[in-house]
Chain A
Amino acid sequence: MAEARRPMRRRGRMPGEKAKDFKGTIRNLLRYMGVYKIGLAAVAVFAVASTIFNVIGPKILGNATTELFGGLIAKLSGTGTIDFGKIGGILLTLMGIYVLCAIFSFVQGWIMTQMSQNMSFRMRRDISEKINRMPLAYFERNSVGDVLSRITNDVDTLGMAFNQSITQLITSVCTLVGVLVMMLSISPLMTLITLLILPVSMLLVMGIVKKSQKYFIAQQEYLGRIDGQIEETFSGHDVVKAFNRENVELEEFRKINGVLFESAWKSQFLSGLMQPIMNFVSNLGYVAVAVSGAMLAAAGTIEIGDIVAFVQYVKRFTQPITQMAQVSNLLQSMAAAAERIFAFLNEEEEIQATENPVDPAVIEGEVSFEHVQFGYNPDKIIIHDFNSEIRPGQMVAIVGPTGAGKTTMVKLLMRFYDVNSGCIRLNGHPVADFDRNALRNGFGMVLQDT
């Protein structure tokens, strides 16, 4: 089949593909996931709990350090010793917290994986069942590749994005808030210094995104062109060979490939700048905190353990910000995939069963067409007022040029399509009164292409 040759839509879509109706799609998605209400709630609870534990960890560790330092000073000045009993207690508590944190995080991931995989499974199943309920006309309008890519790529993208985005969204928001609270509780001044780096990093990130956009678009365009050429010349391989065009096509291919290379490395390079720059900004904050922390500690404003804790928080502070940027990308591609899936699932179906289906046993082979009118498109009627009476045992042949509607007649008879007006009867019963499957069982059909 011609459609089968068309390649599937590109896997691993580039960032930037957006759903037309983001809100509506998300609403659809939420409705679809209604069955997982409890699961989602559990995921949220566990994610929040594990994040909180994770966030308070460094603070407690800082307390242990302070205790240690205090003990050391006391020892040096000969007024006491390091209280290892107390430090051991703190550390044991801390270890307990970390173990709990790991368990929570594990349980959360377990539920989440189960849910997202289950959703993918359900979606694939629903699509496959949907295929059997759709009118044939849909498949004549749409390529096999397109539907296929919904079953595989779109469901895959959705499952993966769903799994990651929900978890990341919860944990990054919690971490951000938690870290902020902890930092404030240690030192508002040092927190302020850390926060100063935020607008700087925002500006840098936005600048890079803007600049790289141009190359991303160019890359997409040339990818499209090269895909086009590949598809065309591979499909028409015989013709290319028969006309000795291999070298001409190759030359053309090289040209496009060269341009693609330029835009590909540039967009890759620019988007790759993000990480080192964010890292640098984060290090700026780190240095500022370390230096100012040491000064504050010298002045006796904060404890040495607080610096130890704070330094760790600063390292963790930029992480949720970059994560949230990723999440928004994930959400976009998730919505785009979900939109295509739901568009398919919400397509019109064949009306399945009639209220009181006629028993197909009545079919003896008497067929009558009465004023049948039909067009695949209501504007283009191809069968006008067709009348015929066929008795059991008769052999009837339908002849005509291509496109005259021969096959269409058969499709109407077997209810792959329904007539626009008029009626087809089997032994006096309109075909619409039969159950489709039962009806089709009454026919033997030899197809054009198998």
Chain B
Amino acid sequence: MKNIFRFLAEAKGAVAVIVALLIIQAYCDLALPTYTSDLLNVGLQQNGIEDAVPETIREESLDTLEMFLADSDVQELEDTYSEADEDGIRTLKEIEKSDRQALDDLLALPESVVFQMQNSEDGLAMLAMTKAAVNLGLMSKETIQEQMQDKLSQMEGMTDSFLDQAAIGYVAAEYEAQGIDLNEIRNEYLFRVGMKMLAMALVMAIVAVMTGYIAARVSAGIGRNLRERLYTKVMNFTSAEIEQFSTASLITRCTNDIQQVQMLTVMLLRMVTYAPILAIAGVIKVIQTGSSMSWIIVVAVIALGICVAILFAVVYPKFKIMQQLVDRLNLVSRELLTGVMPIRAFGRQKYEEARFAKANTDLFETQLFTNRVMNFMMPVMMLIMNGVSVLIVWVGGHGVDTGNVQVGDLTAFITYSMVIIMGFLMLSAISIMLPRAGVAADRVEEVLETEISLTDASETRDQELDHIKGELAFSDVSFAYPGAQSPVLEHISFTAEPGKTTAIIGSTGCGKSTLVHLIPRFYDVTEGSITLDGIDIREISQKKLRDSIGYVPQKGILFSGTVESNLKYGGEQITDDDMEMAAKIAQATEFIESKSAGYQSDIAQNGSNVSGGQRQRLSIARAIAKHPQIFLFDDSFSALDYKTDAALRGALAEQIQNATVVIVAQRISTILHADQILVMEEGRIVGRGTHRELLENCQTYLEIARGQLSEEEIQSALKGGAVNG
């Protein structure tokens, strides 16, 4: 998992922008329920009247209110309203928000007192009396304010909320008295809030689109970079590292695994990051409201957090095990498939089926477990969500009763909890994917971290090799594959000279291919040294060394493209003449020209549209076309029939006279004419000489020859007569 974050760290800037955008989105997401609660509280309960400050007020009403205020406050009040117009109505001037807040605090008390008095006949009479008394100077302001406090203390259980409601009732009554249609005020308010909500929704959509854009680019970019880094790395791998991972596994890592990481990155950036942001923003928001219900949301978020944490703690290790079980099942299936013949020949079906059943059952049990745990989450989270809404109504209901909470807040809180919990549900749904992608990322990183075992020397001796003659000498070379105990090659010494053919023969597994692989430095020797024109090949750059070598692998490996692109694979310096000449030597001209497009004919991936023999001839021509000083034929003639084999070698000998040729072969007929034949057995050279010499003095060679040649052929070779081939 940590590797995914490491990959993400490469795009720090973009991730920071996304987080910022998501915070905006969370803000908008949570603002919507607040507006809904405004719709219900202010719009519905208060007829769209937001506070105790009337926009317009009759002169006489203002006077009445002023009776209850201190002189300094009266002055302030007078200043905020315009002069009375012809109808005796004064209008509120444009004021700052903070001033309005102060005014709201100032007016709420007198307004609610007046509102109470206006509602009863006694009250009205008392109001009129007080007014008269003040006008006549019979009563001082102090006395009135004392009376007001008395009145307040009479109204038991009167809280701020009720005070506000009463003040708003006063404003509504005042508007009605002025002949203003309250419905209009309300509808205008509803419309205004609605527009604000739409704006929020729009901002949210825009922000989400922007997030999506950045997330898409970042994740595709991470995929691209990883792919390139991995590919570059593998291109620089030596055979040792390739063997370590296996080709198939490297391919999967470079394709599927990176694709998985890419998909997950999008999810991480867009959804997984959003859930905690939303949760935190939600908690902050509800705490800000200062409502007595805030703790419910906090508890819900903690409960959900614990749920998700438990989920991860329980399931994540199981997911890792599951990956191993999947690999195990793959392995068993693969063996089942590749071993169809031996399994049947030895009647092992039952045994193999039992082995498969074991792997299958293990996987089944683990998957069942993880799926069940995941399945447990959904109802639990839903229950938390529903439980929270029930709790909100219950606790909130009591808050409403005491005047601490307004009904609209209930809706807002229920929606908050829904929004937050939905975020968590999303998180847990995606978390199913996390472990898999985490494993994929680990597999990618594993390749990237692998050290390449073979590099160029810091100071090469390339400049001493202006004209490579091609003299190749092994001196006391031993080699063991990395990690292997016993050496594959032991104490090999020989010299392959320019213009001469050195052949290596021996039974399967004797190490002859390995020997050839050491020359282009697919591996480095474990002991001893290999020199080219007297210089240790480890002191030559890989490029220089390989440029001088024409390597023909055991299997004819071609690349998709055309015949031409394959034959000119050795470099851009290869001309059409070179190419055609090479094809001629490799006995490939005939079949190439029989194709309608000739050299432009398509070659499918892996060369699957040409036969094995044709593939082999093309791969030989490919090596010839680059005019190397050294030819390495790694058992390259095996797919050819005897006739083509002979014709090819004949043409080769004619055309390339100064090159060093090393041939690995299983067929004696291929190497009859070699200047030097090395006979190998179990990693050692057990005989060297010409065909005839070896027949005379090498028992191993004679055995191989007896298996492949007729007695007459052997006898005539021993006599020194003409050899066929």
Contact = CB atoms under 8 A, between A and B. Distances in A.
A286 B32 contact: yes
A113 B216 contact: no
A441 B247 CA distance: 36
Interface string B199-218: 01110110011001101110
Nearest to B389: A61
The size class of the interface chain A forms with chain B is 35 or more
A272 interface: yes
B375 A1 contact: no
Contacts of B571: 243-244
Contact of A125 (B236, B360, B410): B360
A214 interface: no
B418 interface: yes
A25 interface: no
Contacts of B549: 242
Contacts of A440: 344-347
Given A109-B375, A234-B247, A273-B209, A88 B221 contact: no
Interface stretch (B10-18, B39-47, B459-467, B692-700): B39-47
A382 interface: no
B495 interface: no
Given A7-B255, A117-B371, A151-B329, A279 B204 contact: yes
A136 B340 contact: yes
A297 B382 contact: no
Given A84-B397, A287-B197, A437-B347, A236 B263 contact: no
Interface in A42-99: 50, 54, 57, 61, 64-65, 68-69, 71-72, 75-76, 81-82, 84, 87-88, 91, 94-95, 98-99
Contacts of B411: 65, 307-308, 311
Given A65-B393, A82-B401, A268-B216, A105 B379 contact: yes
Nearest to B165: A76
A124 B553 contact: no
A215 to B, nearest CB: 11
Contacts of B347: 437, 440-441
**Would you call the interface of chain B mostly helix, strand, loop, or mixed?**
helix
A312 B417 CA distance: 11
A251 to B, nearest CB: 11
Nearest to A445: B345
Nearest to A267: B216
A75 B402 CA distance: 11
Contacts, number: 380
Contacts of B239: 237-238
A2 B556 CA distance: 12
B353 interface: yes
A41 B337 CA distance: 38
Contacts of B263: 12
* Residue of B259, B380, B543 most packed against chain A (CB within 10 A): B259
Contact of A152 (B330, B382, B394): B330
Contacts of A159: 367
A290 B379 contact: no
Given A102-B382, A148-B330, A243-B570, A283 B401 contact: no
Interface of A: 1-8, 10-12, 50, 54, 57, 61, 64-65, 68-69, 71-72, 75-76, 81-82, 84, 87-88, 91, 94-95, 98-99, 101-103, 105-106, 109-110, 112-114, 116-118, 120-121, 124-125, 128-129, 131-132, 136, 139, 144, 147-148, 151-152, 159, 163, 223, 226-228, 230-246, 249-250, 253-254, 257-258, 260-261, 264-266, 268-269, 272-273, 275-277, 279-280, 283-284, 286-288, 290-291, 293-295, 297-298, 304, 307-308, 311-312, 315, 401, 414, 416, 436-437, 440-441, 443, 445, 447, 450
18 contacts: A57-B386, A84-B401, A91-B394, A94-B386, A128-B356, A230-B231, A234-B247, A242-B551, A243-B569, A244-B571, A261-B220, A264-B220, A264-B262, A265-B219, A273-B209, A273-B212, A283-B205, A441-B347
